């Protein structure tokens, strides 16, 4: 169990980590998530006493600095390419093993475990990022530690590598170990983590399970398709708290309808759903017009349609993705973002951090249940 209490770090006037407190429990993978520059690496360095700052981190009740052989209790990888430049992968691990009273044979065991046996006599400086990540994990596992702290371990891995990492981390967690792993990519975390600690600009945004994160930051909606969509939309709009939006395919249908109406000499502006349906049918489309309904249960939408004799072709609950939840949760706290295409380009040094990494634009803020759990 890791207990972090009041972690704090300032660089000049900038607060990088702002009184973060959280727990990382054994037996599961806890994802540490936040946009670029949120303070994840700084937090991990503070936890491992690699940086000066405020607060305290306890590993099963003890501070890192008081543990006699840290490698045998806490395996950490904070930089994916921090290896000795001239030693082979195997010798690099053997050196570390010697320093912590770990038998040499363990180097070969962990190299095999991460799939690097074939290149064990090569120097890591020629390794790809994915290979370096594997070597980093081998290094972290060298002392067979109870706790793993990994900063962006999926960086540079291809999809099969990410799948492999996920399987490894899950099986290590199943052995009762405590796994704390950071990423700025939610799609990776969605595959790996059971619990999430989400931060933005150094402050806590969410601490809890993955499903709760989606529930807190997104709203499920209902997708319904019907040849009588316009009639259904009208009924749905009368329901208290419900909002109805036409699905985008309908726009295409609407355009087709407008074209059809104009060709018939009718006023395109008054092309209604019935005309749209004709146009869709004429175009041979198999899709009925669709609606997205928020603020109503799926069953209630179905019942309303049934009570009014409306035929449905599709009725489905749509849960928002983890990605959408992440955007809502961290939208306000993204530090570096790409300029919108219609914005003036950055003009010079006064524009602040250059070369913004590709961060998607923020969405309107949702609920923000902050604070450590």
Ligand X SMILES: Nc1ncnc2c1ncn2[C@@H]1O[C@H](COP(=O)(O)OP(=O)(O)OP(=O)(O)O)[C@@H](O)[C@H]1O
d(CA 316, CA 133): 41
d(CA 245, CA 25): 42
Give the nearer residue to ligand X in terms of CB position, either 277 or 335: 335
- List interacting residues with ligand X (CB under 6 A): 11, 16, 34, 36-42, 184, 335
Give the nearer residue to ligand X in terms of CB position, either 246 or 335: 335
Within 10 angstroms of residue 127's Cβ, the number of other Cβ atoms is 20
Nearest Cα to 141, choosing from 163, 113, 166?
Answer: 113
Give the nearer residue to ligand X in terms of CB position, either 38 or 111: 38
The 3-state DSSP class for residue 333 equals: helix
Give the nearer residue to ligand X in terms of CB position, either 177 or 184: 184
Q: Report the nearest approach of ligand X to the CB of residue 186 (Å).
A: 12
Burial of 231-259, coded b for 16+ CB within 10 Å and e otherwise, reads: bbbebbeeeeebebebbeebebbbebbbe
The answer to whether 5 and 21 have CB atoms below 8 angstroms apart is yes
Give the nearer residue to ligand X in terms of CB position, either 182 or 226: 182
Q: Report the nearest approach of ligand X to the CB of residue 111 (Å).
A: 27
Joined together, the tokens standing for residue 94 give 């053997």
- Strands lying side by side in the sheet with 2-11: 14-24, 2-11, 54-59, 62-63
Give the nearer residue to ligand X in terms of CB position, either 218 or 330: 330
Q: Report the nearest approach of ligand X to the CB of residue 7 (Å).
A: 11
Pairing of strands 178-183, 147-151: parallel
Q: Report the nearest approach of ligand X to the CB of residue 37 (Å).
A: 4
The answer to whether 170 and 158 have CB atoms below 8 angstroms apart is no
Give the nearer residue to ligand X in terms of CB position, either 36 or 362: 36
Q: Report the nearest approach of ligand X to the CB of residue 161 (Å).
A: 19
Q: Report the nearest approach of ligand X to the CB of residue 330 (Å).
A: 11
> SS3 breakdown of the chain: % helix, strand, coil, rounded to 5?
40, 20, 40
Q: Report the nearest approach of ligand X to the CB of residue 196 (Å).
A: 14
Q: What's the burial of 161, exposed, middle or buried (CB within 10 Å: 0-12/13-18/19+)?
A: middle
Nearest Cα to 177, choosing from 143, 203, 209, 208?
Answer: 143
Give the nearer residue to ligand X in terms of CB position, either 103 or 361: 361
Q: Report the nearest approach of ligand X to the CB of residue 45 (Å).
A: 8
């Amino acid at each position: 169990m890791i207990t972090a209490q009041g972690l704090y770090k300032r660089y000049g006037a900038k607060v990088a980590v702002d009184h973060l407190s959280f727990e990382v429990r054994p037996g599961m993978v806890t994802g540490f998530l936040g946009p670029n520059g949120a303070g994840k690496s700084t937090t991990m360095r503070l936890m491992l006493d690699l940086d000066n700052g405020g607060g305290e981190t306890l590993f099963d009740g003890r501070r890192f600095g008081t543990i006699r052989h840290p490698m045998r209790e806490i395996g950490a990888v904070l930089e994916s390419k921090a290896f000795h430049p001239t030693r082979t992968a195997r010798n690099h691990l053997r050196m570390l093993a010697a320093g912590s009273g770990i038998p040499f044979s363990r180097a070969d065991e962990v190299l095999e475990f991460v799939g690097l046996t074939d290149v064990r006599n090569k120097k890591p400086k020629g390794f790809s990022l994915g290979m370096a990540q594997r070597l980093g994990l081998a290094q972290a596992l060298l002392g067979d530690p109870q706790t793993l702290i990994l900063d962006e371990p999926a960086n540079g891995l291809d999809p099969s590598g990410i799948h492999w990492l996920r399987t490894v981390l899950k099986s290590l967690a199943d052995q009762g170990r405590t796994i704390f792993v950071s990423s700025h990519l939610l799609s990776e975390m969605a595959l790996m983590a059971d619990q999430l600690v989400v931060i933005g600009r150094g402050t806590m945004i969410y601490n809890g399970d993955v499903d709760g994160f989606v529930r807190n930051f997104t709203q499920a909606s209902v997708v319904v398709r019907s040849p009588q969509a316009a009639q259904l939309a009208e009924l749905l709009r009368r329901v208290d708290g419900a909002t109805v939006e036409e699905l985008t395919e309908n726009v295409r249908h609407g355009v087709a309808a407008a074209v059809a109406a104009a060709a018939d000499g009718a006023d395109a502006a008054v092309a209604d759903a019935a005309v749209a349906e004709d146009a869709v049918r004429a175009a041979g489309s198999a899709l009925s017009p669709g609606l997205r309904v928020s603020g109503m249960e799926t069953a209630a939408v179905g019942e309303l349609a049934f009570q009014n004799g409306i035929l449905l072709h599709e009725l489905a609950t749509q849960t928002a993705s983890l990605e959408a939840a992440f955007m809502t949760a961290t939208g306000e706290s993204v530090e570096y973002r790409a300029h919108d295409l219609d914005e003036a380009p950055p003009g010079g040094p006064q524009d602040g951090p250059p070369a913004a990494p590709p961060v998607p634009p923020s969405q309107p803020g949702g609920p923000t249940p902050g604070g450590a759990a």
